[in-house]
Structures are given as C-alpha cells and as structure tokens.
Amino acid sequence: DWDSESSRNLVKLARAYPHEIDLIVTGSLTNIAGAFVLDPEFFSLIKGMYFMGGITAPLIFEKKEMKELNFSVDYKASTLVLQNGENLHIITGNACLAVMTSYSDFKERLENSSLGQYILKKESDWLAYNDREYGIKGFYNWDMTTVLYYFYPELFEDSLQWIRLMDTDLQEGYLIEGNEGEGNQINLPKLK
C-alpha cells in the first residue's frame, strides 16, 4: 500500500528537514513512491537517495541465475521513483559482485569473539542456502555495499548514466542504459 504510515512519516521528515535528509534504500521502493504521491515536492526536499537494487546484466552463479529482489518487487513504484527522483545513486547487484567474502575468511574473522560466534551461528543457514542453491562459496554483502558507498565514496568510481526506466525492464529489475535525455541520469558507482 503506497499510502502507509512510513510514506506519511517520510513526507513529515522531508518537510521538517528540507535538503538535509539522505535516504538509504535497501528494499522495495513502495514507501518512497507513496511519499511522492502524497507530496509531489517530496523528491525536491530530499538531499540524495542511495539504493541497493537493480541489475545491469544477469546474476549467473555456478548453479543458477539469481533474480533481482528489490526494484522488481514493486516495479511500478521503482519506475515512479527512478523517473522522478533527484540525486540518485544505485549500487546494482552486479556492482556488489566485486567483493565476496569466502566462508573460511568469514569464519576466521569472526570466530574469536562471542559476537562473531553469534553472527556465524545466525548466518550459517544463509551461507548453506547460498552454496546449496547458487553454488556461492561465501557471502556477498549486498545491502551494506550501499552503506559503504554512502560513507566512503572514495572507494568507488562514479558512473553517471542515462537509464531509460521502463516498466518492462524494471519488472525484472533491469537498469538499461538509454540515449542522452532518455529516462533519468543516475549514478551507478562501482568499487575501484
């Protein structure tokens, strides 16, 4: 539901703190679209938006293809937000593939502390699932790569591109480069 408590709260915060708020978005864009529908000035009040989502090419692993799971969930909201938003930065699923932590590396870094052991225990099912279903022998830190870009942009190379933003592309989570003036200009950073 685009008209949600979250959407209304986003509008209130944007109005209370114009040009001071950056949004880090690591899921569907439903609430963001809802905020824009409630207040057509919403995007002009937001300082910047940082997303984890979208793909520029299929995510093919050893065993099978992984489908995009953020922009495609509510592709109509994604289309609306990405067509109308300002100062957009998207860390795509493909960009996240630049760094994988192997299971042995993950274990070595975490096993010597009680918090690390807790994380290993909680993540063991996820790591086993990734290996069993996709043949991934470790962990891609999908969502946190966007947070990393937000706090340490110097680790990335910016790439401002025209993205055409059609429903048919975003149904599958695809961000397709367009011609100049087609769609919206969006930064698709990549780790250096």
Per residue, the 3-state secondary structure of the chain, as one string, reads: CCCCHHHHHHHHHHHHCCCCCEEEECCCCHHHHHHHHHCCCHHHHCCEEEEECCECCCEECCCCEECCCCCCCCHHHHHHHHHHCCCEEEECHHHHCCCEEEHHHHHHHHCCCHHHHHHHHHHHHHHHHHHHHHCCCEEECHHHHHHHHHHCHHHEECCEEEECCCHHHHCCCECCECCCCCCEEEECCEEC
pLDDT tens for 164-180 read: 999 999 999 999 999 99
User: Looking at residue 17, what is its pLDDT?
Assistant: 98
Please report, rounded to a whole number, the percentage of residues in the chain having pLDDT higher than 70: 100
User: Looking at residue 57, what is its pLDDT?
Assistant: 97
Over the chain, what is the mean pLDDT?
95
pLDDT band at 60 (very low <50, low <70, confident <90, very high): very high
**pTM for the model:** 0.92
